Amino acid sequence: MAKPNKTPRPKAEAPKGFRDYFGAEVTQRAEMLRKIAGVYHRYGFDALESSGVETVEALGKFLPDVDRPNEGVFAWQEDADADKPGDWLALRYDLTAPLARVYAQHRNDLPTPYRRYAMGPVWRNEKPGPGRFRQFYQCDADTVGAPSVAADAEICAMLADCLEEVGIERGDYIVRVNNRKVLNGVMEVAGVLDPTDPDKFASERGIVLRAIDKLDRLGLDGVRALLGAGRKDDSGDFTDGAGLTDAQADVVMGFMQAKRDTGAETVARLRELVAGSSTGVQGVDELETIADLMAAGGYGPDRVEIDPSVVRGLGYYTGPVFEAELTFEIKDEKGRVRNFGSVAGGGRYDDLVKRFTGQEVPATGVSIGVDRLLAALHAKGRLTGDAIGPVVVTVMDKARMADYQAMVAELRQAGIRAEVYLGNPKNFGNQLKYADRRNSPVAVIAGGDEFDNGMVQIKDLILGAKIAENATLEEWKDRPSQYEVPRADLVAKVREILELNR
């Protein structure tokens, strides 16, 4: 007698905010990562893979886009040892914080500069939303230990190369470059940054930064409101502003709108805006150098341009910042046309390693949002076609399994994706349904007659589907998409059909 169920059955569900990826979703991402890794490698970066788990202590409080420390991280405490409490561990939330830890830990064994790329999942303990998951892929490259803006310029060029490598055409993207030092210069001029007391006005500047970062979404008026008293959104919620005077806000707005038709004109305009701030002037000089280096490498303003509206939200950037935006329009989930927007970003951060060693280590890097980039290629129809399924050798006679197995072995040795139908073979219709579901190009059929005569039936499922769609039942009965060939010609005939359907 069966025993009664003692416990209720577990729910078969991925945790909230996590999802499963099937078939082409997985292989397309793997292919994209492989291509990007190829570009990173060609630029001289070496691979690094750290584990998904770090100590909370090492990760620190740099979680992007979150104001409060340690929020948004999956963390747990290790079991206590006999004499001391367990360490707090956490899943990494990006690949930059682990890089800082790795560099600090292994710095005596690493070359200087240390140039590494890394790719893999990161985790955020955030509220999931549509298209927003708590595990996603990042694909980063960073140069640690190089103060030269040539390192930043190189990353911008590399980012452009990566986008083209994965199938974003020139003209469909732009890498926009700015410099935090220019922004700081503007803040000095506006009177919300005092170089002798960097902590003063910190909260105001935080609001300014986030406001500029939201230009795309809020528009100029929305940003302006946030620079001043604050802003009420459509839902009636009020967001406090930075409390800048009109004159101060004008300076910041002028900065955001400083972009001119050419890089040289933009640089000239920025020089006017930061006049009097040595930090600001240094930032403009750096932007000019980056523009020169880009031009020398053949990366014109159709690929990389200076754009003062790019600020990147992260507190830790200290110099050049950059962002890759896809410029084509797509329809969002509500059918509205909009720009696809940002797929990658990065910049210079000189303080991350200092946390560990006390020494300032200049670093710059980029992070490509692989999942967003895949979504963009989908939206553009550049990831066409489902993956083609295997050739399915159907089972007419269970006792002949060894013969069927020999057929697939031959096909596989010829490099052809193939499998024997391994479900219950009784219902032949189920076997063809299975082949259909797998998007199989060819079915192989052999029963008693075929084995007796040394023949095999080969069914072109792609042609068959086309005929079934277009022809009358009468024509379909002729089954012109099915061929009987000698057993010895199995591989040759299957290959012929695969090549015709390619």
| Paired strand residues for 304 | 175
Task: Say how many C-beta atoms besides its own lie within 10 A of residue 345's C-beta.
Answer: 22
**What is the distance between the alpha carbons of residues 307 and 263, in angstroms, rounded to a whole number?**
9
Q: Restricting to residues 376-395, which ones interact with a second copy according to CB under 8 A?
A: 387, 389-390, 392
The answer to whether residues 448 and 397 touch, using CB atoms and an 8 Å cutoff, is: yes
Nearer to a second copy, 85 or 191 (CB): 85
> Does position 437 bind a second copy by CB under 8 A?
yes
For a second copy, which residue of 82, 402, 429, 452 counts as binding (CB under 8 A)? 402
Question: Stretches 279-287, 365-373, 399-407, 449-457: which one binds a second copy (CB under 8 A)?
Answer: 399-407
> Does position 157 bind a second copy by CB under 8 A?
yes
The answer to whether residues 363 and 354 touch, using CB atoms and an 8 Å cutoff, is: no
> Does position 75 bind a second copy by CB under 8 A?
yes
Nearer to a second copy, 340 or 404 (CB): 404
- Helical (H) or strand (E) element with 348: strand 337-348
Nearer to a second copy, 136 or 328 (CB): 136
| Cis peptide upstream of residue 113 (ω within 30 degrees of 0) | yes
The answer to whether residues 290 and 149 touch, using CB atoms and an 8 Å cutoff, is: yes
# of chain residues touching a second copy (CB under 8 A): 104
DSSP 204: H
Q: At a CB cut-off of 8 Å and minimum separation 6, what does 189 contact?
A: 251, 273, 274, 275, 276, 277, 280
Question: Stretches 96-104, 240-248, 307-315, 482-490: which one binds a second copy (CB under 8 A)?
Answer: 96-104
- CA 262, 265, 271, 273 torsion: positive or negative? negative
Q: Restricting to residues 298-357, which ones interact with a second copy according to CB under 8 A?
A: 298, 355-357
**What is the distance between the alpha carbons of residues 275 and 370, in angstroms, rounded to a whole number?**
40
Nearer to a second copy, 332 or 360 (CB): 360
Nearer to a second copy, 335 or 429 (CB): 429
Residue 283 CB, shortest distance to a second copy, in Å, is: 18
Question: Stretches 171-179, 291-299, 304-312, 444-452: which one binds a second copy (CB under 8 A)?
Answer: 291-299
Nearer to a second copy, 146 or 373 (CB): 146
Sheet holding 53-55, edge to edge: 53-55, 88-91, 75-77
Residue 115 CB, shortest distance to a second copy, in Å, is: 7
Beta strands 455-460; 482-486: pairing state: antiparallel
**What is the distance between the alpha carbons of residues 12 and 59, in angstroms, rounded to a whole number?**
32
The answer to whether residues 348 and 152 touch, using CB atoms and an 8 Å cutoff, is: yes
Q: Restricting to residues 18-37, which ones interact with a second copy according to CB under 8 A?
A: 18-27, 29-30, 34, 37
For a second copy, which residue of 72, 145, 222, 230 counts as binding (CB under 8 A)? 145
Nearer to a second copy, 236 or 415 (CB): 415
For a second copy, which residue of 16, 217, 334, 426 counts as binding (CB under 8 A)? 16
**What is the distance between the alpha carbons of residues 169 and 94, in angstroms, rounded to a whole number?**
28
> Does position 454 bind a second copy by CB under 8 A?
no
> Does position 375 bind a second copy by CB under 8 A?
no
For a second copy, which residue of 4, 82, 111, 336 counts as binding (CB under 8 A)? 111
How long a stretch of residues is the chain? 502
For a second copy, which residue of 203, 257, 424, 427 counts as binding (CB under 8 A)? 424
For a second copy, which residue of 115, 205, 224, 459 counts as binding (CB under 8 A)? 115
Q: Restricting to residues 175-234, which ones interact with a second copy according to CB under 8 A?
A: none
Residue 117 CB, shortest distance to a second copy, in Å, is: 9
Task: Say how many C-beta atoms besides its own lie within 10 A of residue 385's C-beta.
Answer: 7
DSSP 400: G
